[in-house]
Structure formats: structure tokens, C-alpha cells
Amino acid sequence: TNYLRSILQEAGYKVGTFTSPHLIVFNDRIRINDVYISDDELLRIANQYIAYWQDYDLSMFEIAMIISIIYFMDNKVDYVIYEVGLGGRLDPTNVINSLVSVIVNIGFDHMEYLGNTLAKIAYEKAGIIKENGVVFTAEDKKECLAVFEAVAKERKAQLFIIDSITSYKLNGNIHFDHKGYNDVVLDTIALYQIQNAALAIEVCDYLSCNHVIDISRSNIYDGLYKAFWKGRFEIVAYDPITIIDGAHNEHGIKALLPNLRILPRPSVVVFSALKDKQYQEMITDILDCVDEVVITQFNSDRSLSADELALGLDVTVIEDYQAAIAYAISKYKTGSVVITGSLYFISLARELFKGGR
């Protein structure tokens, strides 16, 4: 979402984005050219439509979706990029009849709603494929692609499958080549962003070649380099290098592992998660890549205690998350610290650094 936004913005377009959950404040879900909706605008739209929300007993996500639609229409944006909330087929964002649908990849998450096999989850995700539409994916698992191909065929949609990129250079930034774009530079060392960037390139190329948008190659290069997303392998401190990353499910953790392996050693991960995640598998994966895992907890109806998260695992338990982070930083002064797990947890952790506390 953010790479596409940045490229379109570089080309001079006014671009709305809708993402969830928020990391800092609710407003950051709804943006125009990467600027959050203001409190005043949020309040104005809420006051205008609250009676309808109450009459139909709408969820918070549905309300946020409606606010975004009104806000983007009022501000006459050129394009909007909607990140799907949960699944796709039944997600509130699926009322949008999009120019292009993008399914990055499939992992086990929200299984109580989406199903307990990759094929079932893929079917829910494929719900965003439109009749006679266009869909791009970076997925490579056969059982998922079979579902996408079947749904695309049924809906007479074009399906584009992006090849995996395995060749890259790392020198403080990421450098890679893709489909005639040589030495694309991403201002991050998060290796999982390579595939996201490649998807953005192909979507923009398609829209440009089909005369939907007017965009140059330099817009794509510059847009990808300038894009930044808080909480995505974000370096928040040095000495030791301290990184926060929103790897909030097993799929996210597996994407993070290659970076954990190349960070300066000794290294430690401070981790907390929600109870509906495969947290034991997540922690086990991390243990193979770092010198120590510190398990902690935070206040949320959906979170687990540090003791529950750590049950049966060779980890350090420090219940207070501020104390856990302080311990990691103090002990690993010559190495690196990664704070990950729940997005709610990394939001709290980020405040400790960005808030100056």
C-alpha cells in the first residue's frame, strides 16, 4: 500500500490510503499523501453520520471505512489504495470496485474466521478479485495459486504472478533488479520489502501501459526509495542498534528471520503477542536465530501473560515490558535488539524511543 502510494504521489497524484490497525493514533489509518486525517475532520464526519452507525450497529472497522470514503470524496483524491482488513471476501473494504487487486501472499492467521488450511484462507483472500478484473500476487505456494487461478478464471479476471526475487545487494540499503528496472534502491534493510516493492513496480507498470495513470520510471525509482513505514524494521536507536518490527503472526516472523540472522551479534529479541496467534511456533522460530529471547506482556484484552507465552520454552521472562526492553538494551550493548510480536506491543515500545521517555 505504502509503496504504491509513494510512487503515485511522486507522479503528482493526490493519493488516499486506508490501513489498519493504527500504530500511533486512530487517525493514521486514514491519510492523504501520507498525512493523517485531522481530529477536526474525523469529528466532523463522525458527527454527521453517527446516527446511521448506531441504527445499523456497525463495527469500529466499518465506521473507519465509512469515514475514509467520505473523507476521500470530500477531498477529491485522484486514487485511493485500500488495505484489506481481515480476509477479503467478507471484509468491509470489499465494497470497493477496484482498478486492480493485489494479494501479497498467504499465511496462517485469523484462522477462526478464515479457515485452518492455506487453501481455505486463499479462497477468502481471493474474494477481492473482481469480475473482469486484474489481480497481482507474489504468492508462490501451489495450493494458494490453484485457488487464485480458479477464482480468476471463474470471474474472467487476469492473474499476474510475480516471480520471487532472490538476488540482491545489502549495503545499508537494499539494491535489486526486477523486470527491466536495474538497481532499484529501498531505504531499508528489511529483506521482506523486496517482494512488496516488486509488486508495486508491476502494478504501476500495468496501470501505466494501459494508460490508466501517467507515470515515469523515475517516479517508480524515487517513490520506492522515499517510502517509509513506521514499525517495519524501523531503527529506533543505536548503541546498541535497536529495531522494532510488526511481525505479528508466524508468517511475519518467518519473513523477519533472514534479517535476524544477519544482525550484529550478540542479539536479543523482546517479544509479546496476542492469544489468537501461533505464538509458540513464532518464539521457537526466533530462538534459532538469536542469542536470547525475552518474553514480556502488555495490557490488552487479547494479550497473554508472559508466563503463558513462555510455557515450556527456553526463554527469559520479564513481565513489565519497559523493564524487559531496558534489560535487553543493557545486556546487549555491543550487539542488537529487536522488539517484535504484536502490533499493539510495538506501538507501546515505539513510544519509549520516539516519545523520548
Query: What are 90-106's pLDDT values in tens digits?
Result: 999 999 999 999 999 88
Query: How does pLDDT run across 238-274, given as a tens digit for each residue?
Result: 989 999 998 878 888 988 999 999 999 999 999 998 8
pLDDT grade, residue 357 (50/70/90)? very low
**188-190-196-198 Cα dihedral, nearest 10 degrees:** 70
C-alpha cell at 128: 477481492
DSSP string, 104-154: ----S-SHHHH-SSHHHHHHHHGGGPPTT-EEEE----HHHHHHHHHHHHH
Give the integer Cα–Cα distance in Å for 329 and 239: 8
Residue owning grid cell 510512487: 7
Which amino acid is located at 37 in the chain?
A: I
C-alpha cell at 303: 494479550
Give the integer Cα–Cα distance in Å for 304 and 287: 19
Q: Shortest CA distance to 160 belongs to which of 124, 107, 125, 203?
A: 203
Judge contact between 172 and 189, C-beta under 8 A. yes
Span 339-352, average pLDDT: 91
Query: How does pLDDT run across 25-61, given as a tens digit for each residue?
Result: 999 999 999 999 999 999 999 999 999 999 999 999 9
Label the pairing between strands 241-245 and 336-341. parallel
Q: Compute the C-alpha angle 123/58/249, nearest 5°.
A: 45
Is pLDDT above 80 for 115? no
- Cβ-proximal residues to 217 (8 Å cutoff; 6+ apart), any chain: 181
Residue owning grid cell 509513494: 6
Is pLDDT above 60 for 356? no
Give the integer Cα–Cα distance in Å for 87 and 101: 13
Is pLDDT above 90 for 153? yes
Which amino acid is located at 3 in the chain?
A: Y
State the chain's mean pLDDT as an integer. Answer: 92
Residue owning grid cell 534459532: 288
Judge contact between 287 and 261, C-beta under 8 A. no
C-alpha cell at 91: 471484509
- Give the pLDDT confidence score for residue 249 in this predicted structure: 84
pLDDT grade, residue 304 (50/70/90)? confident
- Give the pLDDT confidence score for residue 112 in this predicted structure: 65
Q: What is the percentage of the chain residues whose pLDDT exceeds 90?
A: 78
Judge contact between 178 and 117, C-beta under 8 A. no
Q: Shortest CA distance to 274 belongs to which of 113, 110, 107, 120?
A: 110
Span 229-236, average pLDDT: 92
